[in-house]
């Protein structure tokens, strides 16, 4: 009799455990499949990333670019061309004044990166640098801290403590800036960062 009871208890225990284990296995597999389906859906709905993080893809024979001016004397400017960051605080190649990156208008190859101190430095090296730029060169410029105390040149006038970005391609110039306004300044005495992005047509022979 005892043997029969023991066997019955064993079988009942085994049955209960097997049922619980099966339920847990089913739940685990269900969760696994659900997570996989959600991951696939998230990947399929994730917006595509374009070069330099711009909002849309550039057409063929165009270079993607994005520039951001510096913010006060805290955040340095950032210049990106064809997904290649040419100048930034992380690269440690930006400085107070006007930051300039030059690129080949046909290939997009970086030619030079420099910055010119418009507060404590001499303006003449900057003017000579601009005069030496060859036709067809892509010129990308962003200001940092004070970009204008000594700077006035015929194609653009820059006001002190107003962040700007400039784009010059094949002898055409585009500029964007935010005026210094104490009522709207994001930083103490300084406006917020200015950004510009778009597509530059490749220079043709």
Residues 86, 121, single domain; the answer is yes
Query: What's the number of domains the chain is made of?
Result: 2
Residue 27 shares a structural domain with residue 121: no
Backbone torsions φ then ψ of 56, nearest 5 degrees: -150, 160
Bridge partners of 190, per DSSP, are 187
Range of the domain at 4: 1-46
**Do 37 and 84 belong together in one domain?**
no
92 or 6: which carries more pLDDT confidence?
92
What confidence tier does 130 reach under pLDDT thresholds 50, 70, 90? confident
Examine the pLDDT at 18 and tell me if it is beyond 50: yes
Q: Are residues 85 and 146 in the same domain?
A: yes
Q: Identify whether residues 177 and 84 lie together within a single domain.
A: yes
**Do 118 and 188 belong together in one domain?**
yes
Which pLDDT score is estimated for 97? 85
- pLDDT tens figures, 76-99: 889 999 999 999 999 999 988 889
CA distance 8 to 198: 78
Same domain for 13 and 88, yes or no, is no
**Residue-level pLDDT at 94:** 92
Q: Are residues 15 and 110 in the same domain?
A: no
CB-CB contact of 163 with 179 (8 Å): no
With beta carbons less than 8 A apart as the criterion, state whether 68 and 80 touch: no
Residue 32 to residue 22: CA distance in whole angstroms: 15
Backbone angles phi, psi at 125, to 5 degrees: -60, -35
**Which residue pairs from 173-178 have beta carbons closer than 8 angstroms and sit at least 24 positions apart in sequence?**
177/69
Tell me what pLDDT residue 111 has: 95
pLDDT tens column, 41-65? 556 677 889 999 999 999 999 999 9
How far apart, in whole angstroms, are the C-alpha atoms of residue 61 and residue 83?
Answer: 15
31 and 99 share one domain = no
Same domain membership, residue 59 and residue 42? no
Same domain, 83 and 23: no
Is the pLDDT score of 171 beyond 50?
A: no
Residue 3 and residue 72 in one domain: no
Domain end, chosen from 46, 63, 83, is at 46
């Amino acid at each position: 009799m005892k043997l029969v009871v023991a066997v019955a208890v064993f079988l009942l225990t085994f049955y209960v455990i097997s049922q619980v284990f099966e339920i847990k296995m089913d739940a685990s597999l269900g969760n696994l499949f659900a997570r996989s389906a959600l991951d696939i859906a998230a990947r399929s709905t994730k917006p595509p990333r374009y070069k330099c993080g711009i909002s849309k893809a550039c057409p063929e024979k165009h270079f993607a670019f994005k520039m951001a001016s510096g913010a006060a004397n805290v955040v340095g400017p950032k210049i990106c061309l064809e997904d290649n960051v040419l100048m930034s605080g992380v690269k440690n190649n930006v400085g107070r004044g006007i930051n300039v990156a030059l690129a080949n208008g046909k290939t997009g190859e970086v030619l030079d990166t420099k910055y010119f101190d418009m507060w404590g430095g001499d303006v003449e090296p900057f003017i000579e640098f601009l005069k030496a730029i060859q036709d067809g060169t892509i010129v990308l410029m962003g200001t940092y801290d004070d970009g204008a105390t000594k700077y006035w040149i015929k194609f653009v006038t820059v006001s002190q403590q107003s962040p700007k970005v400039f784009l010059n391609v094949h002898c055409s110039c585009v500029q964007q800036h935010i005026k210094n306004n104490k009522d709207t300044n994001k930083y103490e005495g300084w406006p917020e960062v200015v950004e510009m992005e778009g597509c530059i047509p490749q220079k043709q022979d």
